């Protein structure tokens, strides 16, 4: 079955997404054994399923008969039943039961099946050419892995903005000094430091390093001592980002502390984004609550406002003013634009 038609921008053009790429469809913990859930990914209605033997699969969510949502039907023994006329589909998208008439099953009685891989606690989906889906190209997030799933604290938010705007937000950490001035900000130290962007293949890395008091939230814990702070963001197409942070008391190498977290943007539509995030340190659950509060009440509100101001216009169409802190975000956008153009050709 052909993919469902894409939604369109206000100017009538279909949004361009990179198809031959791994995207996070959900955290594995969102899909317990024996359950199914719907999710819109890259403008496509997708049904995620996990049977009692913990095998996960992803298929199209629209029944080919009268276009009902399969996610509204029963899921049992690895089969989903259309809630409208009772056709049953297996986890590969094939119709295996037609309860009407002689029960004949037409060749067209199937829905699209997507490659799905579970790794690093996430369900990764490949919306493009199935033969090109290589799990080895999934970014290495092994720092998130733990012996016990109970130790994990993954976060999720549906963000009312385009996924590239959401990625820009992570690739330019200098906004923290203004949008998060009372928590994650550095009172101008981060914004005032030079941002160094580098390209490695199709991956982008941007780095900030500076001396000062560091993040406002951590200053009381260090009695406002001078510290060396380093932030590094690595971006992988189409929206997987790893933030690494190092803090060391001035003149005390033994005090060095390292942290890492992941921020993943999967487009829902041209103007909404599935935002997955998690920290890889011991204080995961404590950090999750802070992140949810900050991202939802500050970043989310700002991104929604930016998206509203842009309306249906594209980023380059807006002729944005480019500052030195934009180097990583602009480089990532150019890489993604190039990959999408190559794929469309």
| pLDDT (tens digit per residue) in 299-333 | 999 999 999 999 989 999 999 999 999 999 999 99
pLDDT of residue 13: 43
Rounded to whole angstroms, what are the CA distances from 34 to 26, 75, 123, 288?
16, 7, 16, 27
One domain, residues 313 and 205: yes
One domain, residues 107 and 163: no
pLDDT of residue 287: 82
| pLDDT (tens digit per residue) in 145-162 | 988 888 889 999 999 999
One domain, residues 313 and 167: yes
Residue 187 covered by a domain: yes
pLDDT of residue 151: 86
Residue 229 covered by a domain: yes
Mark out the alpha helices in 205-277 (DSSP H runs): none
CATH number reported for the structural domain that contains residue 307 in this entry:
3.90.380.10
Residue 103 burial class via C-beta count within 10 angstroms: exposed 0-12, middle 13-18, buried 19 and up: exposed
pLDDT of residue 3: 43
CATH number reported for the structural domain that contains residue 107 in this entry:
2.102.10.10
One domain, residues 246 and 327: yes
Residue 24 covered by a domain: no
Residue-number span of the structural domain to which 96 is assigned: 33-116
Which of 90, 116, 142 is a domain's end point? 116
The pLDDT averaged over each successive group of 10 residues in the chain (345 residues) is 39 70 97 98 98 97 98 98 98 98 96 98 98 97 89 93 97 96 93 96 97 88 87 98 94 92 97 95 80 92 97 94 96 97 92
pLDDT of residue 125: 98
Asked if 215 and 186 touch (Cβ cutoff 8 Å), the reply is yes
Asked if 57 and 49 touch (Cβ cutoff 8 Å), the reply is yes
Give every strand in the sheet of 227-236, ordered side by side.
155-159, 272-279, 257-269, 240-249, 227-236, 203-212, 196-200
């Amino acid at each position: 079955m052909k993919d469902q038609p894409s939604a369109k921008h206000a100017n009538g053009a279909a949004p361009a997404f990179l198809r031959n790429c791994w995207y996070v469809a959900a955290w594995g913990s969102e899909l317990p054994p024996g359950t199914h859930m719907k999710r819109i990914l890259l403008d496509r209605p997708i049904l995620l399923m996990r049977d009692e033997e913990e095998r996960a699969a992803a298929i199209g969510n629209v029944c080919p008969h009268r276009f009902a949502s399969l996610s509204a039907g029963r899921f049992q023994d690895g089969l989903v039943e259309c809630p409208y006329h009772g056709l049953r589909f297996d986890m590969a998208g094939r119709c295996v039961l037609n309860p009407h008439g002689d029960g004949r099953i037409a060749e067209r009685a199937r829905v699209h099946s997507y490659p799905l891989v579970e790794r690093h606690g996430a369900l990764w989906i490949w919306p493009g050419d199935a033969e090109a889906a290589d799990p080895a190209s999934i970014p290495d997030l092994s720092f998130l892995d733990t012996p016990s799933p109970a130790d994990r604290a993954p976060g999720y938010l549906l963000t009312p903005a385009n996924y590239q705007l959401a990625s820009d937000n992570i690739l330019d950490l200098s906004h923290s000094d203004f949008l998060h001035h009372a928590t994650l900000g550095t009172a101008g130290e981060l914004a005032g430091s030079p941002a160094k962007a580098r390209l490695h293949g199709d991956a982008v890395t941007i780095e900030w390093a500076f001396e000062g008091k560091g993040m406002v939230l951590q200053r009381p814990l260090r009695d406002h001592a001078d510290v060396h702070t380093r932030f590094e963001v690595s971006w992988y197409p189409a929206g997987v980002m790893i933030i690494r942070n190092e803090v060391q008391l001035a003149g005390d190498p033994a005090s060095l502390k390292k942290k890492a977290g992941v921020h993943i943007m999967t487009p829902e539509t041209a103007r909404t984004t599935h935002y997955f995030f998690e920290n890889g340190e011991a204080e995961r659950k404590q950090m999750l609550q802070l992140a949810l509060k900050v991202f939802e009440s500050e970043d989310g509100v700002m991104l929604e406002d930016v998206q509203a101001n842009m309306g249906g216009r594209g980023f380059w169409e807006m002729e944005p003013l480019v500052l030195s802190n934009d180097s990583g975000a602009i480089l990532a956008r150019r890489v993604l634009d190039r990959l999408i153009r190559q794929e469309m050709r």
